[in-house]
Structure formats: C-alpha cells, structure tokens
C-alpha cells in the first residue's frame, strides 16, 4: 500500500481536535460513516488515516493525514479532489502541505524548463531576471505593440500581457500576438539581447488549445496562464500538449485563504508544469507576509523528486526603489515582475525607466555587458 | 457602454472603505496606478467604477462595482478573471453577487434541462426528487453495480457515484459505467419506474471528453461533475459539447470562503450549465447556516434572464429522520441526496431503507402510485 500525506491546519478546541482530524480523514476518503464500511480491505487500504496531530499555536493544530494513492487513480483532477475536495468547504481548515510518494510524483513531469531552461532562453546564467506587464487593458493593439517594443529595447527579459488582457474587441488575441511578436523581434534585432513577449492564454479548454497553437505557430516561446482560472486539470493538459512553452503561472482566482500560498503557487502549480509561478509580493497591495513569500519562493526551488526547480516571480505593487531589498531577500534565482510602477512613464521616459529596472537588477545580481551593447530606441 | 455589476463584502475601517473600494475597482480592471492610464477612452470605458458602498454590519461593507462588459470578451474564463481574479487574493474580501446585463447573459445558455427537464426525465411532475450516492469508494465494480440495482429497485430517482469514485484500479470508469447502467436498467424493467445512474466525470479536459463520449454511448443520461475541480471553463466546454446530459454539479474544491455559496453554487454553476447543483446542507457536517442554504436554493431557482431554473440538491450528512423538516424548508422543487446515512444498511435492509426514503419523500411532497406498483427485489 502506498500513501500520500496531506497536511492541514485546523482551528479547534483541544478536546475536539482528534475527532475533527478523524472526520477529515473520513471526508477525504470514503466520505461516509465508518459503520457503513463493512469490507475490511476498504478499511485497511482505502480509508485515510490520521498520522499525527501537533499543536501549532493557540487553538490551531497541524494534522497530517495519509491518503491512499490508489484513490487518486494517478490523475491530476482526482488528486485535487482527494487532497482538498470536500474539506475545502469546511470552516477553519487550511490545506498547507502535501508529500507524494516517489511513484506518484514520477507521474508528474512538472516544469519542462524550470530555472535552468528560462536562464538558457534569456541567456542570463547568473543574474536575477526581469519581467514587465503591459497595462492598462483597453489599449489598442498598436499601442500594446509599441509598449512591447520599448520594453524589449530596454532589455526586459520577459514582457507579458497583463492578466486582464484576453481576447477583447480592443485587442483581439491573434492580432495582438502577431504585432507584439513582431515588435519584440524588431527590438531584439536592434539590441542583440533576447527579450520575449508572453501572451496571456485564457479560455475554455478548446479555446486554450486553439490559442496555444496559434501562438506556437507565431514563434511564441513564453506564455502566461492563470491555472486556477482555466482549471488545474486544463493547465496540466495544456503543458502536456505544448511542452515547448515556458509557462508563467498567474495567481488569479487563487483565493488562497484555504490553501497556503506556498503550497498552491510554489508547489502545486509547479507539480502541474509551471516554470515560473507569479505570486503577490509582501509589502505591496496584497496581504501576504514576508515569511509567506519566502516560503513560497523556497518551495518553488526546493528539490522535489525529479521536478525541475521553478523560478519564483514576485509581483503586485512592486516598485523600482525596492529592487535592492527584494533581490537581497529572494536572491538571484528570481524574476522580478514590475507592472504599473514601470508604466508611470511613457514613450522615451518609459524606455529610460525600464532600462533603469534592467540595469539595476543586472548591477545588483549579475555581471553583463548589456548596458554598453545597447543602441538607443 | 455596457457594464456588469459585481458585489463584494469588504471588511474595513470606516475611514478606509472608500479607498479600498476604489482600489478593488482598479484591481479588477486596469490593475495599475490610475496615473498610468493616460487614454481618456480607457478611463471612461474600461476602468471599473464603484457604484455604491453600503454598511453591512459591524466593520463590513457591501460594495457594488461596475465592470465593463467589453473587458470580459464575452468568454467564460475571462469573466471569472474579471469578476474575482486578483481580488480573490485580498484579505477580507468576499465575492457575493453578480448582475450581468441582458446581452452578456444571453451568451450563457445555462442549464439545458433544469428543473422541468429533470422532472420530465424521472417522470415526477410535482413531488420532491430523491438521490443517493454510492459509497464507500474502494468497492469493486460488482459491488457498486449491486448497490446501484438495489437503490434503483427502491425507486431512487438518481443514483450517483460518490464524488471520490473516479477511475481507480478497484473500479475502472468504463467497466463501472457499463455495469451500473445494466444494473439500473434491470431494476427499471422490474419496477417500471425510471431511475438513473449518474457516473462521476472527472479528469483533464481530454479525459473528460473521452469519458463523456463513452458514457453517452452507453446510454447515460445524468452525470456528476465537480466544476471547481475540473475548472469552470472546462465545465462550460463539457456542457456545450454534451448538452444531452443532465448535470449534477458537485461542490468539491469549492473552498467557498471567498465566494458566497449562494453565488458560486446557486448562480455561477447554473450560469455555466449545471442542471442540479449539489451543496452542503445546514445542520450536517459542514458549516453552512440555514439561511445561506435557503439563499442558495432560491438563487438556483430564481428567474434569471432566459436561464432555466436549476434544481437545488442539499446533501452532506443528510438523514432519513430529517426529510419532513428539509422538505418543509426547501419545498418540492428539490432533490434530496442522502449518502452515508442510507448505507448504514446493506442488502435487503438497504432496499428497505432506500424505499423508506423514496416513500417518505413521495408522501410528504407528492402523489404517486409508486409504492403499490413496485415488485420486490
């Protein structure tokens, strides 16, 4: 018998925690009164087991539950269902960790590129990487393409669509991808430094697939996907079918209150193939604490079976004046994503501001002749 | 310009609520500092607007935000992204309501069958409907099929896989569907009363599709899907491609803390095509309050554009001895789903217990000659 171990933080009175833990184990396996489980084989091999209960601060307990691997059928959607299906509906339960035995883990190829693949693609072996988001949505295709060209001229490694940019009348997907690819290519010819446009792939599975095909045919190498919006199983399908893309994973719709951010974005997204999970940085406009962000980045990079390390991408209310602090905290195996703060400038001023971003990251974390080699816009 | 209205409950100090509401409107539209939005057209037509802020109890505010329909591109995944993408990551924000203007709503066909279609299928024009879940997972196919036959002989309207039953070695999907369909058919020939087996469709989009095809070819009419597990956009694709199925929607992975249950299960699931949303009943083993359940059932049935009413399915720790109370509360346009409590009995005793369920529902809410017409098992 093989078991995976899922860990939950449960708020409870001390006298009720054992009962709640046992109830959770039943909920996440046979989901019926144990009296209705008459078959000894099912009791032995299928019913989940409470492996340990530890106090974790006032009124909170860390509960490890062993779930039979066989119940997952080795499939993505069913794995989600078994580790956090019904108990996501319980009050005061947070899903915080999962350990998969080797044989189950081996069924998940994880990131196809990971940190090393992204570094090779952007030709940056050591320094921290840079990313910018094109905003605001509502811009027409020619405006987005112009912004893309400017940011590529500045040498930003990955220039992504804002996650709100989809397939709207003001910037239809195909037209936008074509224009931004051309704009980035033009800038790269001028600078000699690789920069990649990452379009946002969003839609129902059928649309996702069509859009992925179109992007691939246009030479796109990096894409942005929000796995919780499209659905984790749909994300898995996409990565399996289009393994050549580098996947930036966006946290939208992640509503992480019930799943620890480090687990959802740092580990589960990676397990399903995200090369670079984007997450909301501490001290920005979201509520994450610094140690939570640190744990997330560590989880994305930590050894985990044969899975490639994924590149953490802090984002959300980032500012140029925090680059020193952020790189000191996250280290160079990081891609900084600055969105709106960069776009406080436009035109020539945007080019200068984006260069400041690129140069600062390079100066703090790397060594390159990039600034010298670069022609003007 | 067309606008949809999303409503959020925000916990906040009184002096900060306006600022937080404005920040949310920006987050859910252009997602960058307003200073970076230079184009007046985008400010007028794309930036979301705070329509109203009302006190909603101590330290809570009900904030209505108008979001430009154009930003959704009329697509399912992008709609989710725009109404609760990034702000799902905020602390103290719950998404509680959404109003779609007519033209946008018209792009969502919603339930293909709804209450009337399900009533026609099971030939029960007035009374409340019955459903049972087959548990525990771990049972072999022959055991599940035997249980299915027993429940169909008892006259249960819809007999569904437990949502933990997927495609495991102990009950592979195809073998199970074939056996349960045959078992239900055999019972129906004996009783003359329609009863339907509803297999659980789960998987990545490609698997979902294969399984849906197989089920359709085997004559399946009702299926169980967990939209949050497979992903809301994947659920939409499935309903569009296989409109002949009646869809029971399971709440697994719904982690509804950040989306009000009435909105997620009662309205959004319905919008995407759920004929019968299953939800956790008050007074069971989940945390929902009675008025929350009442609001959910009301939302599922309420007039909403041209969408068919969906059939509310309370479940989760239901008991035979609560049928009177539950039917009084929910009324007859309801399907009661009893899982484990029914399965405290087995064999002949299960048949008797399931008949008690069916007869009780019939006696309380309907008029039929079912009991008299029924042969023994």
Question: What is the b/e burial string over A147-161, where b = at least 16 CB atoms within 10 angstroms of the residue's CB?
Answer: bbbbbbbbbbbbbbb
Quote the minimal CA–CA distance from B125 to chain A in Å: 31
CA distance A195 to A355: 13
Task: Say which DSSP state B307 is in.
Answer: P
pLDDT of residue B287: 66
| Inter-chain CB proximity A89 and B280 less than 8 Å | yes
CA distance A311 to A247: 10
- pLDDT tens, N- to C-terminus, chain A (377 residues): 899 999 999 999 999 999 999 999 999 998 888 888 889 999 999 999 999 999 999 899 999 999 999 999 999 999 999 998 888 888 788 888 888 998 998 888 889 998 999 999 999 998 889 998 898 889 999 999 999 999 999 999 999 999 899 999 999 999 999 999 999 999 999 999 999 999 999 999 999 999 999 999 999 999 999 999 999 999 999 999 999 999 998 888 887 567 778 888 889 889 888 899 988 888 876 767 899 899 999 999 999 888 999 999 998 878 889 999 999 999 999 999 988 788 888 888 888 888 999 999 999 887 543 444 444 43
Q: What is the pTM of this model?
A: 0.87
Chain B CB within 8 Å of residue A275 CB: no
| Inter-chain CB proximity A344 and B36 less than 8 Å | yes
- Chain-centroid distance, C-alpha A253: 12
Cβ-based contacts of A229 with chain B (< 8 Å): 77, 80-81, 85, 231, 233
Contact B314, B337 (CB under 8 A): yes
Nearest by CB: B33 against A38, A206, A340: A340
- A-B CB pairs within 8 A amount to 304
pLDDT of residue B369: 38
Beta-bridge mates of residue B93: B10
Structure tokens at A200: 């946002």
Cβ-based contacts of B136 with chain A (< 8 Å): 29-32, 36-37, 42, 46-47
Percentage helix, strand, coil, to 5, in chain B?
45, 20, 35
Low-confidence ranges of chain B (pLDDT < 70): 256-257, 285, 287, 367-377
pLDDT of residue B215: 98
Which residue does chain A place closest to B252, by CA atoms?
A85
pLDDT of residue A92: 85
Quote the minimal CA–CA distance from A287 to chain B in Å: 6
Contact B3, B69 (CB under 8 A): yes
Q: What is the DSSP string of A62-95?
A: EEEEEEEGGGGTT-HHHHHHHHHSGGGGSTTEEE
Contact B167, B173 (CB under 8 A): yes
For A124, residues 6+ apart whose C-beta sits below 8 A from its C-beta are A157, A366, A368
Residues in chain B: 377
Summarised one tens digit per residue, pLDDT across range B66-102 is 999 999 999 999 999 999 888 888 878 888 888 899 8
| Inter-chain CB proximity B231 and A234 less than 8 Å | yes
B200 phi, psi to nearest 5 deg: -85, 120
Residue A254: CB atoms within 10 A of its CB come to: 24
Alpha-helical runs (H) found in chain B: 17-27, 40-45, 76-84, 102-105, 114-122, 141-153, 173-191, 205-217, 227-230, 232-241, 261, 269-271, 290-301, 323-330, 348-365, 370-373
Beta-bridge mates of residue B63: B8, B53
Cβ-based contacts of A27 with chain B (< 8 Å): 285
Summarised one tens digit per residue, pLDDT across range B192-229 is 999 999 999 999 999 999 999 999 999 999 999 999 99
Interface test with chain B among A165, A253, A271, A293, by most B beta carbons within 10 Å: A253
- Residue whose entry in the numeric block shows the structure tokens 């446009």: A197
| Inter-chain CB proximity B253 and A286 less than 8 Å | no
pLDDT of residue B376: 41
Nearest by CB: B73 against A30, A35, A168: A168
- Residue whose entry in the numeric block shows the structure tokens 């919006």: A229
Cβ-based contacts of A89 with chain B (< 8 Å): 251, 254-256, 280, 286-287
pLDDT of residue A261: 83
Chain B CB within 8 Å of residue A273 CB: no
Quote the minimal CA–CA distance from A126 to chain B in Å: 30
CA distance A243 to A111: 9
Contact A357, A149 (CB under 8 A): no
Chain B CB within 8 Å of residue A136 CB: yes
Does the ipTM exceed 0.90?
Answer: no
Structure tokens at A265: 């974005």
Quote the minimal CA–CA distance from A149 to chain B in Å: 18
Residue B206: CB atoms within 10 A of its CB come to: 16
Which among B124, B117, B120 has a CA at the least distance from the CA of B370? B124
Alpha-helical runs (H) found in B259-345: 261, 269-271, 290-301, 323-330
Beta-bridge mates of residue B3: B68
Indicate the pairing of strand A158-161 with strand A196-198: parallel
Contact A224, A200 (CB under 8 A): yes
Residue B300: CB atoms within 10 A of its CB come to: 30
Please report, to the nearest 10 degrees, the dihedral formed by the alpha carbons of residues B30, B35, B41, B46 taken in order.
20
CA distance B277 to B225: 10
Quote the minimal CA–CA distance from B23 to chain A in Å: 9
pLDDT of residue A215: 98
Chain B (65-94) residues lying within 8 Å, Cβ to Cβ, of chain A:
70-73, 75-78, 80-82, 84-86, 88-91
Contact A164, A138 (CB under 8 A): no
pLDDT of residue A368: 45
Nearest by CB: B229 against A80, A143, A237: A80
CA distance B78 to B233: 9
Sheet with A222-225: strands ordered across: A222-225, A246-249, A276-280, A313-315
Structure tokens at A49: 């087991």
| Inter-chain CB proximity A75 and B30 less than 8 Å | no
Contact A166, A202 (CB under 8 A): yes
CA distance A30 to A37: 8
Which residue does chain A place closest to B205, by CA atoms?
A234
| Inter-chain CB proximity A166 and B73 less than 8 Å | yes
Beta-bridge mates of residue A230: none
Half-sphere exposure of A125 (CA within 13 A, CB side): 2
Peptide bond just before A20 cis, omega within 30 deg: no
């Amino acid at each position: 018998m093989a078991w995976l171990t899922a860990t939950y933080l449960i708020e409870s009175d001390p006298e009720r925690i054992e009962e709640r833990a046992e109830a959770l184990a039943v909920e996440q396996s046979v989901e019926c009164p144990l009296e209705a489980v008459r078959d000894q084989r099912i009791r032995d091999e299928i019913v989940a087991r409470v492996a340990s209960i530890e106090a974790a601060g006032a009124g909170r307990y860390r509960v490890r539950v062993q779930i039979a691997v066989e119940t997952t059928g080795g499939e993505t959607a069913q794995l989600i269902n078994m580790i956090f299906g019904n108990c996501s509906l319980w009050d005061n339960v947070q899903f915080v960790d999962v350990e998969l035995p080797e044989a189950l883990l081996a069924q998940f190829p994880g990131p196809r590129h990971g940190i090393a693949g992204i570094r090779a693609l952007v030709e940056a072996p050591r320094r921290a990487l840079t990313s910018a988001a094109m905003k605001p949505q509502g811009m027409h295709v020619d405006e987005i393409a112009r912004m893309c060209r400017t940011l590529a001229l500045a040498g930003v490694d990955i220039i992504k669509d804002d996650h709100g940019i989809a397939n709207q009348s003001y910037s239809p997907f195909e037209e936008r991808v074509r224009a931004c690819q051309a704009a980035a290519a033009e800038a790269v010819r001028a600078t000699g430094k690789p920069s990649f446009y990452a379009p946002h792939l969003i839609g129902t599975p059928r649309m996702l697939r069509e859009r992925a095909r179109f992007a691939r045919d246009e030479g796109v190498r990096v894409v942005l996907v929000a796995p919780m919006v499209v659905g984790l199983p749909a994300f898995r399908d996409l990565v399996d079918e289009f393994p050549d893309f580098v996947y930036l994973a966006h946290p939208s719709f992640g509503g992480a209150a019930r799943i620890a951010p480090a687990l959802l974005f740092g580990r589960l997204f990676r397990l399903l193939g995200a090369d670079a999970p984007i997450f909301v940085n501490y001290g920005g406009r979201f509520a994450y604490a610094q140690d939570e962000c640190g744990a997330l980045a560590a989880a994305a990079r930590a050894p985990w079976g044969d899975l490639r390390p994924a590149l953490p991408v802090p984002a959300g209310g980032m500012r140029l004046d925090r680059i020193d602090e952020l790189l000191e905290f996250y280290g160079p195996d990081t891609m900084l994503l600055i969105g709106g703060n960069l776009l406080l400038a436009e035109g020539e001023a945007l080019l200068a501001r984006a260069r400041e971003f690129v140069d600062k990251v390079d100066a703090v974390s790397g060594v390159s002749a990039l600034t010298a080699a670069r022609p003007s816009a």
